[in-house]
Chains A and B, each alone.
Chain A
Amino acid sequence: MICANVCSMFYFKVLSPTRSRVRVLRFEDGLDFPLFCRNCEDAPCKDACPEDAIARTSKGILIVNNAKCTGCGACVKACPYDAISINPDSNKAIKCIACGECVKRCPVNAIWITTEKDLKGRDRDNRIALLYDEHKKELYSKGEFL
């Protein structure tokens, strides 16, 4: 949970996993999944936003414009990966923007920023992909786990 703490402290100056942009789920077979926004190419959150508050940067990262966001939660419902949520203090949508603050502090180097192509290169024996497939149904809840 160090990544979650880094995130809420870095951005909101508090400790709070529910105010973090990463979720960590532990499974009974011993796996821990830190889950982040994957900046989908077809970004359902962006399409769902009635205020047009979600935009894509030149690097492909989806960001929330706080001035426009009304905290309506349409993006939360639209995201298939529970990767965007509403911060209860600011009532604005929050999501991982791949800043890398948690990456550099993860004591076991379990997190890195990657692309589909890069991941395939690193995961040559397909181990990560298989573990992901095996658990993917339980990883996402359309907001229920948030």
Chain B
Amino acid sequence: MKGVGGQTLHIDLTSGKIEKTPLDEQMIRKYLLGAGFLSKMLFDMIPEGTEPLSAANVLGFATGMLTGSMFPQSSRHVIAALSPLTGIWGESHAAGFWGPELKFTGYDAIIFTGASDRPVYLHIEDSKVELLDASGIWGKDVFETDGILRTKHGRQSRVLSIGQAGENLVRFAAIMNDRDRASARSGLGAVMGFKKLKAICVRGTGKLDVADPVNYLKHMDELYKRMLANPFTSGRAEFGTTSLIELMQHIGRLPTYNMQQGVFDGYEKIGGHAINRGYLIKPRADWSCLQRCGRFTSVSNGPYAYRGGSPEFESQAALGSRCGNDNVESVLYSHHLANKYGMDTISLGGTISWAMEAWQKRILTAKDTGGIDLSWGNHESIVRLTKMIAFREGFGDLLAEGSFRAAKRIGRGSEEFVMAVKKQEIAGQEPRAQKSMGLAAVTAARGADHLYSFPVLDEVGFDDEIRKRFGEKYLPQMADRLNPTYKGIMVKECEDYMVVVESVGLCKYGTQIPPEFYYEDVALGLRIHNGLDLKVGELKTIGERIVNLNRLFNARFGITRKDDALPSRLVKEQAPVGPSKGQVVELDSMLNEYYTHRGWDLKTGLPSRRTLRRLDLENEGSLVTA
């Protein structure tokens, strides 16, 4: 196999034993690498009944087939484990340079089992692999850890680590790499923290031989030309994702006041234009990235002064509109702190905004919060809580559990407005304004999630792409964000494609928004880079297989149709204001369409025997005791 490292590392943190195994080509043909590879490895290694925060949990890191290649946006790695936030399949991804660096060591993936009894970090320098004492960096933040390890092991090294939030087992702790890139969702930072694994420092000086070196640059020139000519690319460079605030306000999809509504009066103050005017230093790209959505910003003085990588739309929405906060400097700063301590900003803002609604409804009072005022938009409290959550101080200790568990403990009706699916906070898409996002949030394997399917084709007029990818007969309904018709089909097809994208190591930018590259381009990449000849139909089947295997994983942890549910606010209460006023999410009809299209049982929401046979998943299916 060309274009890959060729080996997987297996590290048992309990015994300190390190083993290496060669890649299995048969497995690659069924699952590729990245998300697919980890889906299969962890399904086989994590039996039902496993506790997320126990030595029995398995934590996997994997690069994709094209990670480290020249394919546009091929910078990504995937991390997976049983999630301490949801108790089911946990998966998270990030861009940066860490993944490609790992590739150049000759390793494509690392699987950690067991747990260490003292802090350790993994150091990989080409074929040399060693577990080292981390007592000197335990307790340090993400930026300090990066600095210390790169001073020690060479500045060309790339560092992935947890901050204090992961050490303190915050249930939505992130795993950070290259300082400000976050594998944020699913709380996998807490799994690292539990295993006492502080960091993975990587330096690879090797090379990737490619399958078609003669024509490689010629093909890449063509892909680059297309990516740069796409009208979205220049806007992405100019604003990153920050101006989605303005766009989402325009369609009434901007989560505000804990998703009570989808429009926010102060949106302009936290939007992309405000950030470009006052705080942007430059856009930054990751490995082979032409989209360069990364922002490098600073607040130059005052209580919220910092300099670093941030923000993006999800953080602006979570820490801004969702909390009723129009103080942009506090939004930027709390995002910066979340990077520093290593936390998911979506769950952070989602949990704080839940507490703010509880305060609004007088369910929480100063007695509960230790005197912290939780009025909407109190930016000082948001910033203060960000730190208190990371360190589990005072009221922060409760919020570090995430909104679902916090509400369970507080009770008094506060469970009613937990804006989560399967215990994970819903991301920045008010689904009453975009029905496909409501469906995607409930079908995603890792709990509430916009990225597993990332059904953005109905967002802003991608009619041509819908025509190309699905066919004329689905128009105009599929392109209408408020019409539930055909959204089950769209979400299913997008999931299949997105898990393939996560398995080859590409970004959702360039493959889904803008929808420039599709299966045939991925197939081209696999052919010229890896020498892997997979047809479009075969890739689609791989995508379906991975989604079904993720579902089987979750089924072993008790997930069925009953769990594919949105908070009642979103399905029962009409959106009160804005362009989507009067809308609710018609979840049941969309789910029926989705299950039907998937070949899943309408009652249980689980894959039928026939579906499993078609996808060669019968053995895996037999392990699920329904």
Contacts and interface: CB of A to CB of B under 8 A. Distances in A.
Interface string A1-42: 110011011101111111100000100111010000000000
B213 A17 contact: no
A105 B224 contact: yes
Contacts of B228: 107
Most chain-A CB neighbours within 10 Å: which of B70, B210, B214, B281? Answer: B70
Contact of B213 (A9, A19, A29, A88): A9
Interface in B141-161: 154-156
A9 B206 contact: no
B208 A14 contact: yes
Contacts of A13: 209-210, 213-214, 216
B221 A105 contact: yes
Interface residues on A, range: 20 to 34
Contacts of B391: none
A14 B205 CA distance: 12
B340 to A, nearest CB: 13
A12 B209 CA distance: 10
Contacts of A99: none
A15 B207 contact: yes
A1 B69 CA distance: 11
Chain A binding site: helix, strand, loop or mixed by DSSP? mixed
Nearest to A19: B207
Nearest to B214: A13
Contacts of B284: 30, 32
Interface string B195-207: 0000000000111
B281 A14 contact: no
Contacts of A30: 281-282, 284, 296, 307
A1 B213 contact: no
Contacts of B3: 15
B104 A17 contact: yes
Interface stretch (B53-61, B268-276, B287-295, B570-578): B287-295
A136 to B, nearest CB: 15
A19 B3 CA distance: 15
A14 B209 contact: yes
A1 B214 CA distance: 20
Contacts of A89: 207
Nearest to B207: A16
B287 A145 contact: no
Ordered nearest first, which 3 A-B pairs have the shortest CB separation?
A: A16-B207, A13-B213, A30-B296
23 contacts: A1-B97, A6-B70, A9-B213, A9-B216, A12-B207, A14-B207, A14-B209, A14-B210, A14-B213, A15-B3, A15-B70, A16-B205, A16-B206, A16-B207, A17-B104, A18-B104, A19-B207, A25-B155, A29-B307, A30-B282, A30-B296, A108-B237, A145-B154
